Every structure is written in C-alpha cells, then in structure tokens.
C-alpha cells in the first residue's frame, strides 16, 4: 500500500461520541486525502491537505474536521459521530493534486 497505514482498521462507536482516524505515510508526499466509500455512492472526497496546516474541503465535509501537523500524518475527526457516518474511510496520498494517487487499506467505522 505504498507506505500508507491507517489506524484503527476497524472501529465500532456509539452515536454522539468523538472519533479520530489516523493516516500515516512514509513517502513524503505533499498531498493527503480522506475519502469515504458507501454502496450506491462510490468514493467521495471528505477533505484533503496540500501541506502542513493547509487543508481544503471536499464534496462531503459536513460533520468532519481534519488536521495535519506533520507531513506524514493526516487526522480525520468526527466531533460527534452519527449513524450516517458509518462507512469505510480511505486515506490517499499523491505528489500533486492531479498526479497518481496511492491508497491506504481503509478503516471500517460503524456508528451504532
């Protein structure tokens, strides 16, 4: 998976609790992305980062926040998880916004 790890790989949490997912890369790529993948919707971009402390919103950013304090780490936070945020979350990296993207193994999140 091109030096990308995601943690945790699986998580079950209750509605209303905060959740943080971590993406870690060893490739020193500038761009990092968070996607969610749902049946019937495909892969949708939540947020992305183009450098340390530089982030931008994607198509489905409501209810999510991100932080990037180091080149290698990109955190996705659900401040108060809802059942609609049950999904598989993928992190990806690239050297440029329009260059080849490499994906992590995914995190399966269930909000009960």
Residues making contact with another protein (CB under 8 A) = 1, 4, 33, 40-45, 48, 58, 90, 92, 96-106
Nearer to another protein, 15 or 99 (CB): 99
Specify whether the CB–CB gap between 91 and 104 falls below 8 A. Answer: yes
Instruction: For residues 15 and 40, give the distance between their C-alpha atoms in angstroms, rounded to a whole number.
Output: 23
Nearer to another protein, 14 or 59 (CB): 59
Instruction: For residues 59 and 65, give the distance between their C-alpha atoms in angstroms, rounded to a whole number.
Output: 13
Instruction: For residues 16 and 39, give the distance between their C-alpha atoms in angstroms, rounded to a whole number.
Output: 23
Nearer to another protein, 10 or 70 (CB): 10
Least gap, CB of 53 to another protein (angstroms): 19
């Amino acid at each position: 998976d091109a030096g990308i790890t995601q943690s945790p790989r699986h998580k079950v949490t209750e509605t209303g609790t905060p959740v943080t997912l971590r993406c870690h890369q060893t490739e020193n790529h500038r761009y990092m992305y968070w996607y969610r993948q749902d049946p019937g919707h495909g892969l949708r971009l939540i947020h992305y980062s183009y450098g340390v402390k530089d982030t931008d919103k994607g198509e489905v950013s409501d209810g999510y926040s991100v932080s990037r304090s180091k080149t290698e780490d990109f955190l996705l936070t659900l401040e108060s998880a809802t059942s609609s945020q049950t999904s598989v979350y993928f992190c990806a990296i690239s050297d440029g916004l329009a260059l080849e993207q490499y994906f992590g193994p995914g995190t399966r999140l269930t909000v009960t």
